[in-house]
Structure 1
Amino acid sequence: MDVERTPGRRGRVALGPAEDTGPVAAFARRLWELKRAAGDPSYDRMRDEFGALASKSALSAAARGRHLPSWETTWEFVRVLAVGVLGRDESSARLEWRGLWERAREPEPAPRRRPAYWLAAAVALVLAVALVLVFGGAFTGEPAASGDVSEFVGDVTVPDGSPIPAGSRFVKTWELRNAGSVGWIGRYLVRSGSFGSPDECRTPARVPVPYTAPGEQVRISVDVQAPPSTGHCQVYWKMADAEGHLLLPDDRAVFFSVRIVP
């Protein structure tokens, strides 16, 4: 990372990744510049005040340029700063940054490896298979349900930005599609974050997801109590099992965002 020394200050001030070190670093530099344009908030503030759903370490690593962040982390970085702080149009920002992210992830030539590395990899693979056979699949580095995929279809009720009278009740409904090969059984949407008015919209902690076979679409509703004061509130939800374990941790959360009016 480039640095500069500032007269009258001790230490060094980070300038962000150098763009000439590759496409990933150039992409990270753009994220870093966006953060500076938004007032350079801390990563804690991006999560706690602005509502970013990615972890602090993931947000920090995204602007460091060593590895390309996932699209989900990238969008949380961009959404809270470009849209939430700088007031960019959400659709335009998503289109622009998705294009930048796609270009940054274009594969680079793989480094050549010596035969010894291939031998070590083969030995590791044999050991992993043996462990799976011995322990019945309990030892694995892959998700338990690798075919589990959720796809957002659309808002059925209360589109984002809808005006809601202060103190009133409303029902928010989303439509999701099971785009994977795993049936959804005994699942819930759990509230996973929010930001907005001091007295934010009150909701249940979780709402049930009806059984949904692969390829089917399902509507999920939540009852919401609007706060008594004007402002706005935005509440995020992620899919979990009955014990509260997130089932699709890397997927972007569904949410509702409303304006609270007199």
Structure 2
Amino acid sequence: MPESPDVHRSPDSLPEKPGSRRGRRPARPDPGSGPVALLAHRLWELKERAGDPSFAEMSSRLGAAASKSSLAAAARGRTLPTWETTWEFVRVLAVGRLGQDERETEREWRSYWEQARTQGPPASPAAESEPAQTGPAQNTPARTGPAQNTPARTGTVAGPAESGLAEGGPVADGPAPAARSLRIRIGRPVVLGVLSAVLAGGAGAVVAAFSPFGGEKAPDKAVPHESPAWTAQSSDDSVFEGDVTYPDGSTVRRKAHFTKVWRIRNAGTVPWEGRYLTRINSTPCRAPERIAIEPTAPGRTTDIAVRVRAAAGPARCKIFWKMTSEDGTPLFPAKKPIFLDVSVQ
């Protein structure tokens, strides 16, 4: 059911006139600069058609299960957002505000997202990661720094103090012999280290021996070990069974207290312990921020009840909750929120 455009709006959530929003308005990406920028441009167009709400409003009042910073990053067009973030951006605007068909909308935007993903990465991620790559070179011994940050004739002598290199007279008098002799002195231990590595560990050790920053390569080797953890997490799943009380569209009296109950099933292989439904938006009706979920074994269902107080005046209350861990970490970011949808009369 599309959300009423006028029920939950505060003055802050109304479309703003040009120039009225505080702070510097982010620059819109050029759709011709790449597939990721084109996707972000489409998100901007959708946002404007839906009344141009702020990212904070999308994350809170409209019920997007993504942070305002993630939504803003998706609209910048520098890196490809996850599909989950993209869909939450689209869902609350196209479906929630504009009343478009949810399945058709999801199919259309999934196609846009896949197009951006398969047509190649944007150019900006490398630039954004550049500080992380150049930073270690400034703090490493002199033999590694020069190859990336300084000319060959001076970089072989010193490291971080670039001003000293430019002003050092002795270095300028004999650059080539100094460079050659230092390279020889450095090269011999490296060659010996490589030979020792081959004898001790085989060909695989050669790659590690030639690594300019030994510690920097550890994360690459650790990546395969993340797969089992992801496999275990992917077996964690939930299925919404239905509304037990107050189905969507129910009517309640002003200031009335009522209990909404949902039924969900543990459809995975992981027992549920220490889980909660955490509210992600605000409405005129009052409801707790967090609801405890009873421990639930795989394959079993559980009823989750929340006590709600209706608004003091006529209103529509559509409150969203997402399943989280005890520390608030979302457990199923790709799934749609569970919600309460009642009219107060």
With over 3 angstroms needed to count, the CA separation of the structure-2 counterparts of 1:89 and 1:151, relative to structure 1, is same
- Decide which of 19, 22, 25 is 2:37's aligned counterpart: 25
2: CA distance between counterparts of 1:254 and 1:90?
14
- Residue type of the partner of 1:174? W
Q: How does 1:156-167 map to 2 (within 5 A)?
A: 156-157=243-244, 158-167=246-255
Contact residue 59 and residue 281 of structure 2 kept, 8 A: no
RMSD: 4.1
- Decide which of 96, 100, 103 is 1:88's aligned counterpart: 100
With over 3 angstroms needed to count, the CA separation of the structure-2 counterparts of 1:213 and 1:100, relative to structure 1, is farther
Asked which structure has the greater CA Rg, the reply is 2
Contact residue 280 and residue 322 of structure 2 kept, 8 A: no
Per-residue deviation at 1:184?
0.9
1:150 alignment partner in structure 2: 237
Per-residue deviation at 1:164?
2.9
Contact residue 194 and residue 233 of structure 1 kept, 8 A: no
Deviating 4+ runs (over 4 angstroms): 12-15, 119-131
Check if 1:208 corresponds to 2:259. Answer: no
TM-score (norm 1): 0.68
Per-residue deviation at 1:31?
0.5
TM-score (norm 2): 0.54
SS of 1:196 mapped into structure 2: coil
2: CA distance between counterparts of 1:225 and 1:50?
20
The structure that is strand-richer by fraction is: 1
1:7 alignment partner in structure 2: none
Contact residue 196 and residue 231 of structure 1 kept, 8 A: no
Contact residue 163 and residue 258 of structure 1 kept, 8 A: no
2:256 alignment partner in structure 1: 168
2: CA distance between counterparts of 1:179 and 1:104?
32
Per-residue deviation at 1:257?
3.7
SS of 1:104 mapped into structure 2: helix
2:81 alignment partner in structure 1: 69
Per-residue deviation at 1:179?
4.1
Contact residue 27 and residue 65 of structure 1 kept, 8 A: yes
Q: Which runs of 5+ in 2 are unaligned?
A: 1-23, 122-205
Q: Which runs of 5+ in 1 are unaligned?
A: 1-11, 110-114, 132-136
Contact residue 59 and residue 77 of structure 1 kept, 8 A: yes
Check if 1:232 corresponds to 2:316. Answer: yes
SS of 1:85 mapped into structure 2: coil
1:260 alignment partner in structure 2: 343
The structure that is helix-richer by fraction is: 2
With over 3 angstroms needed to count, the CA separation of the structure-2 counterparts of 1:231 and 1:146, relative to structure 1, is same
Identity %: 42
